[in-house]
Amino acid sequence: MNIFLPEQSSENFHSLAESPETNVTGMDVMDMMMGVPVAVPLPPVDGILYTEYYEYTSPNHKETFYFTRAAIVTATVTGSISAISSAIIICIILRSASKLKSPYHQIMFFMSLWDIVASTAIALSTIPMPVDVMYPFKGRSYGTKQTCRVQGLLYAFGTACGFAGNIALYAYYLATIRFKVKDETMKNRVLPVFFVLGTLVSVMFVLPYVWNDQINPGPYDSFCTIS
């Protein structure tokens, strides 16, 4: 597969379309400009037909804010602050008199735990990205495709579980304030089921992106994520 680099302009497509050695129509050029890979038949060699696939990467990518050092530092600082804050919340809960006996504490513990996971992935920024990452990030990259995938997986899974925790918090307030559900009922019957279901749904949400190899570096985030 031939990939046009960001510094190449759309003139590449026009010269490709005008080349007598290729059979590229104006519609093919438009498809490539829209990000659709186009198959280009090549002249036969020793009676064998070959096809090349052309794909366009927008030159605007090099102007994206997320490539800059400011964006990378922002991701590292905000991710670190969020992870540390969630860790402090967990410590406060575990040092309190009721510990995890309170439904509210259980929900906050669940949310804080997964926020630490997602925020740590963000704080690592470009570090887990492959050394030969195709985008011009200003941060250092020391990883491989596998470490990038792990970073994106932790971010997506932690974010999904954190979202489930938010729903649990809303449901808890609704149940206790509007419907007068007792804390014992929430703690022993409702929340355990909700936490299990929320985690399973988060897994089902993230795994297809892993199987389809859709967790990669991208031009709109300073860390590996679904792209």
DSSP, res 178: I
Tokens 């002249």, residue located = 43
Phi and psi at residue 19, to the nearest 5° = -70, 130
Tokens 């995890």, residue located = 100
Using the Cα atoms of residue 9, residue 15, residue 21 and residue 25 in order, give the sign of their dihedral: positive
Using the Cα atoms of residue 134, residue 135, residue 140 and residue 143 in order, give the sign of their dihedral: negative
* Predicted pLDDT of residue 45: 57
> Residue 223: which residues within 8 A CB-CB, separation 6 or more?
75, 121, 122, 124, 125, 126, 128, 129, 151, 152, 155
Regions of the chain with pLDDT less than 50: 1-24, 26-27, 29-36, 55-56, 59-60
* Predicted pLDDT of residue 39: 58
162 closest CA partner among 83, 73, 72, 66: 83
* Predicted pLDDT of residue 227: 85
* Predicted pLDDT of residue 195: 97
DSSP, res 96: S
Q: Which residues pair with 45 in a beta bridge?
A: 48
Determine if the pTM surpasses 0.75.
no
* Predicted pLDDT of residue 160: 98
The CA distance from 47 to 111, in Å, is: 63
Residue type, 75: A
The CA distance from 121 to 128, in Å, is: 9
* Predicted pLDDT of residue 24: 47
Name the H helices within the chain.
11-18, 26-33, 69-95, 103-123, 145-173, 183-185, 191-211
SS3 75: helix
* Predicted pLDDT of residue 44: 66
The CA distance from 79 to 123, in Å, is: 4
Which pair of tokens denotes residue 157? 């899974």
Q: 139: buried, middle or exposed (CB in 10 Å: 19+, 13-18, 0-12)? A: buried
